[in-house]
Structure 1
Amino acid sequence: MTKRRWLGLAAAGMGATAAAVTAGFFVERKVDHTRRAGAPGADELGSLHSDALTVRTEDGVSLHAEVDEVAPYSEEAAKTRPVSRVGKPRRRVAPDPTVVFVHGYALNLDCWHFQRAYFRGKHRLVFYDQRSHGRSGRSDKAHATIDQLGDDLRQVIEELVPEGPVVLVGHSMGGMSIMAFAERHRDLFDERVTGVALMSTTAGGLKTHHIVSRLIPDSIGGQVGSRVIAGLARAPQLVDSLRRRGSNIGFLVAEQFAFGGDVPASYVEFVNNMLAATSFQVLAEFFPNFDTLDKYGALGAFAEVPTTILSGTEDVLTSVGHSRKMAQRIGGAKLVECAGAGHMVILEQKDRVNTALDELLAAAAAGPTSQVS
């Protein structure tokens, strides 16, 4: 590289730094103003809990879990329950499924606040923090993989839902976990799962460098993203200090990347706090999974059960195109596009999401067109 080129890059870097400092001043003012104008009730988000349970994974990680129970179902109602998909023999089960919620990257089970509030008391609900997230134990780097998350989901189902039908609801990385579970434990999936919701997620083809800039060529994009993350991971404490709970930078990042439109400041603060609670070291360990993910081969399993695929049209992390592609690959899948919503559609358009889940649960309860004794 020529000296002139180096000087040009240096000058550009200095200019960018000056611009960043100037922008930072306005960011501080903008975020402070937004926070002061925030909607009341921010402390209520993520406040719904039940007794803490622990699921121990095969590699020794303790997963924090919570179960919201409902009153026992009646035996008379159970006798009228459809019992099987066509061609899939199954014993008779309870009329209502247990709904297992699987959260996304850098979040925790609290992200399902509005779904938990809406469905509490109507269905048996299971929530858990994925490994290295929330109140769960830390994984070693070797097990920080999507496939391992699929195995963890199997463990959660076997311990917390030992019998009866299951509906799986996954957001972002949680949707990937469900796909890995279906791929690696197909027999259990076929036997127990009666419905699936995949929200703001993808089965593969995610180009994480596009989040930074569409101008980065795909041929080097994966290397750029991985190297940047690996470099930052060498000083995780420094990165975490910038991402600390309550930081204005974190607030702005959450606002820009998690939502598609204007939302109450309390929502942004809520997401920002979950992100800040997940150490950068954990983010760095899971990050390489996203560019290499390919679970399209697992999608055949979802054609056997009612499946809802939901996405915000303004999602900049897992764009709506990923949802459309999955819907094309899953026969009979219902695609729900939430106009104007971003990645955290489960907060931003909670009513639309809850309605879609209501419809999915009704379809799961309806069962097959013919019964198998």
Structure 2
Amino acid sequence: MPPELVLPSLSDPPPPGSRTVRTDDGVDLHVEVDENDDADVTVLLAHGFTARLAEWELQREALRPRARLVLFDQRGHGRSSWTDLTKATIDRTGRDLGAVLDATTPESPVVLAGHSMGGMSVMALARQRPELFGTRVVGVFLLATSAGGLVEKGLLGRSVKVVRLLGLLPLYLRLLQALAPTVERHRRRGTRFGRWFTRRYLFGRDDADPQHVRMVQELLEETPYTVNAAFYATFLDHDETAALDVLARVPVTIVAGSHDRLTPAAHARAMARRLGPDAELVVVPGAGHSVNLTRAAVVDQAFLGLLDRVQGELDDQREAG
């Protein structure tokens, strides 16, 4: 990440091109649109868990000359409004993504992009509305994400399995959500422990420096613990492997950091195998979960390469038609 990069602040007024999309369950999603009258394709970007659309800032600059851009804050994140605890699920974020797509881009070709939870949202939408893929949706960019099985190994995975076997998981999740408001009231942001946690889980072997870690820490700590706790349960059950068969209808590029501790590169390789030989896989050596910020040039190149593939297919269709 370039030292001069400063992410837009939530305290600033929403930029021009901002609008609100209301979901079918009454949640107002903050949406920003960068128009481009010369572009054939719209790119719709979904951010990751506890972040907001600003995490795409570097890709936004790289993509703006090539595409019309639509970005939104997931429910409970950034400028978007909150939801009932029971509606904090990957399934629901897939429906939210579909609502933004319908409201902002009802007809033109769209490339969907998702980082982490945003990638899971793309897969959920593919399961829910497969008819979109190969028609309105003409490409998919998956960044540092997983189709499922995130909480299966290690101490946490073993602990969850024991809690499930004892029938205590619902009680554990309710307790977590009940305690979240109290934890949030007494929460201290910008701590050394927060920086250590951010460095360990959001960065890789050699892609971090203190300034970058602090920037990502500040971004993630904007999201309240109540949101974190509400979404936690959905990651335990997340499995959208079957949705990859739908994504295989269109060009797909997958990018992962080799040292990502949240969504390990093994998950990216598994998705690529399921998608088949036409999917492009880029594993960035030494990078972690925030690869879009720390290795922006590599991510941008992969993204622009996907747009080249999509544009080539669109041109072929026009010539054939």
For the criterion TM > 0.5, the same-fold answer is yes
1:308 alignment partner, one of 235, 241, 253: 253
The separation in 1 between residues aligned to 2:208 and 2:87, in whole angstroms, is 36
- Is the 2:113–2:119 Cα contact (8 Å) retained in structure 1? yes
Is 1:219 aligned with 2:219?
Answer: no
Instruction: Show the counterpart of 1:14.
Output: none
| Deviation (angstroms), 1:268 | 1.6
- Is the 1:209–1:225 Cα contact (8 Å) retained in structure 2? no
- Is the 2:7–2:57 Cα contact (8 Å) retained in structure 1? yes
Of stretches 103-112 and 248-257 in structure 1, the one that deviates more from structure 2 is 248-257
| Deviation (angstroms), 1:135 | 0.6
| Deviation (angstroms), 1:45 | 2.2
Instruction: Show the counterpart of 2:142.
Output: 198
| Deviation (angstroms), 1:216 | 3.7
1:259 alignment partner, one of 203, 207, 211: 203
Unaligned runs of 5+ in 1: 1-37, 74-94
The separation in 1 between residues aligned to 2:290 and 2:18, in whole angstroms, is 25
Instruction: Show the counterpart of 1:281.
Output: 226
Matched residue SS, 1:360: helix
1:154 alignment partner, one of 98, 114, 131: 98
Alpha-carbon spacing, 1:51–1:244, altered in 2? closer, same or farther (3 Å): farther
Is 1:101 aligned with 2:45?
Answer: yes
Instruction: Show the counterpart of 1:41.
Output: 4
- Is the 2:173–2:233 Cα contact (8 Å) retained in structure 1? no
Instruction: Show the counterpart of 1:60.
Output: 26
Alpha-carbon spacing, 1:68–1:215, altered in 2? closer, same or farther (3 Å): closer
- Is the 1:170–1:197 Cα contact (8 Å) retained in structure 2? yes
| Deviation (angstroms), 1:49 | 4.3
The separation in 2 between residues aligned to 1:39 and 1:241, in whole angstroms, is 34
Listed as ranges, the matches of 1:1-373 within 5 Å are 41=4, 44-46=6-8, 49-70=15-36, 72-73=37-38, 96-207=40-151, 210=154, 213=155, 216=158, 219-220=161-162, 230-240=174-184, 243-260=187-204, 261-331=206-276, 332-367=278-313, 372-373=320-321
Instruction: Show the counterpart of 1:86.
Output: none
Alpha-carbon spacing, 1:171–1:227, altered in 2? closer, same or farther (3 Å): farther
Matched residue SS, 1:115: helix
The separation in 1 between residues aligned to 2:174 and 2:194, in whole angstroms, is 20
Instruction: Show the counterpart of 1:91.
Output: none
- Is the 2:50–2:228 Cα contact (8 Å) retained in structure 1? yes
Deviations 1:190-240 (A, max 9, x none): 321111011111111111673xx3784663266788766654433324433
TM-score (normalised: structure 2): 0.88
Aligned length: 311
Alpha-carbon spacing, 1:140–1:317, altered in 2? closer, same or farther (3 Å): same
Matched residue SS, 2:234: helix
- Is the 1:209–1:221 Cα contact (8 Å) retained in structure 2? no
Bigger Rg over Cα: 1
Alpha-carbon spacing, 1:203–1:222, altered in 2? closer, same or farther (3 Å): farther
Unaligned runs of 5+ in 2: none
Matched residue SS, 2:247: helix
The separation in 1 between residues aligned to 2:128 and 2:224, in whole angstroms, is 28
Deviations 1:22-68 (A, max 9, x none): xxxxxxxxxxxxxxxx98536x2236944321001000000001011
| Deviation (angstroms), 1:156 | 0.5
What amino acid sits opposite 2:161 in the alignment? Answer: S
Give aligned-pair identity as a percent. 40
The separation in 2 between residues aligned to 1:155 and 1:202, in whole angstroms, is 22
What amino acid sits opposite 2:8 in the alignment? Answer: G
| Deviation (angstroms), 1:187 | 1.3
- Is the 2:46–2:72 Cα contact (8 Å) retained in structure 1? yes
Alpha-carbon spacing, 1:215–1:200, altered in 2? closer, same or farther (3 Å): closer
What amino acid sits opposite 2:83 in the alignment? Answer: S
- Is the 2:152–2:158 Cα contact (8 Å) retained in structure 1? no
The separation in 2 between residues aligned to 1:272 and 1:104, in whole angstroms, is 14
Alpha-carbon spacing, 1:233–1:256, altered in 2? closer, same or farther (3 Å): same
The separation in 1 between residues aligned to 2:286 and 2:164, in whole angstroms, is 28
TM-score (normalised: structure 1): 0.77
Of stretches 326-335 and 269-278 in structure 1, the one that deviates more from structure 2 is 269-278
Matched residue SS, 1:163: coil
The separation in 2 between residues aligned to 1:112 and 1:366, in whole angstroms, is 25
